[in-house]
Structure 1
Amino acid sequence: MSVEHRQGEHEFPVTAGPFALAPMRAWLRERLVDVPAEVVADAELLATELVTNAFKHAGGVLAFRMWQPSGRAVVRLEVDDPRPQLLPELRGERPVLEPGGRGLLLVKALSSAWGVEHALAHKTTWAEISLVPAPR
């Protein structure tokens, strides 16, 4: 799949076979070397959740990208999947002992914005994270 490359855009090499989350997180860390450690940790968690949701609910990952929109202090993470008709569903709070169903709640909590963009044969789920760490 070919996408229009934006300045500063990095695309993780997605190959056939199992998607390895640890190499993806290492790839992110290598590209976010000048970013505060808390932001890098949150970006790793956001990326993991976006990719996991694409595999679990949308048939896999076609592409994973990271870039910084011009003039904005955010990093944008994007995951393309092959099911444009299947929208992410943000569910409400779940009982503590009930497994799963919290991925998009984490995305919403950690990101400054998130959403979905549609194309003909895929959709892109994206999240932006501020480069300025939030007070904890």
Structure 2
Amino acid sequence: MPLRADADLAEPARVRAWARAKLPDLAEEELADTILVLDELVSNALRHGKPPRRVRLVWLPGRLLVEVDDSAPTPAVPRPPTDDGGRGLALIDACASAWGQDLRDDGKTVWAELAKTQSVSERV
């Protein structure tokens, strides 16, 4: 079952802790990239999306898919960096092998795919 993320100021920390618990066998560098991508996707959903919000980690052969759902139909769009933000999708693009979004009538899923070189004994 995916972890449900709510618009709580402490929520990104809770999601990071959840992900670390689900990914105990990842090398520290891979875990750091995964947490960074997850944190950016969750922060964007909390800042720009609408409830309900959900996050999933999905294992595929040789890669991990990070998915964040929200009910805002507005697509995620990279924007120029400012003092108020605009760096999140650029960070995701730098860390992930691919990222994108699936738009629906009831919202969207923004996802990022990360290559994983290490096998993981516990699947999410």
Structure 1 counterpart of 2:65? 76
The residue that corresponds to 1:64 in the other structure is: 55
Matched, 1:102 2:93: no
**Structure 2, gaps ≥5 residues long:** 119-124
Matches within 5 A, 1:1-136: 10-14=1-5, 18=8, 20-60=11-51, 62-69=53-60, 72-84=61-73, 86-92=74-80, 94=81, 98-132=83-117
In structure 1, the partner of 2:121 is none
Runs (4+) of structure 1 moved beyond 6 Å?
Answer: none
CA distance in 1, matches of 2:36, 2:22: 15
* Structure whose CA Rg is larger: 1
Say whether the 8 Å CA contact 2:75–2:103 is kept in structure 1. Answer: no
Give the Cα separation in 1 of the matches to 2:52 and 2:31.
Answer: 22
Question: How many pairs were matched up?
Answer: 117
Query: How many Å apart are 1:14 and its aligned residue?
Result: 3.4
Normalised TM-score (structure 1): 0.76
Greater relative contact order, per chain length (Cα 8 Å cut-off, separation 6+)? 2
Cα gap change, 1:14 to 1:90, in 2 (>3 Å) = closer
Q: Secondary structure at the match of 2:2?
A: strand
Give the TM-score taking structure 2 as reference length: 0.83
In structure 2, C-alpha distance between the alignment counterparts of 1:62 and 1:123, rounded to whole Å: 10
Bigger strand fraction: 2
Structure 1: 5+ residue stretches without partners: 1-9
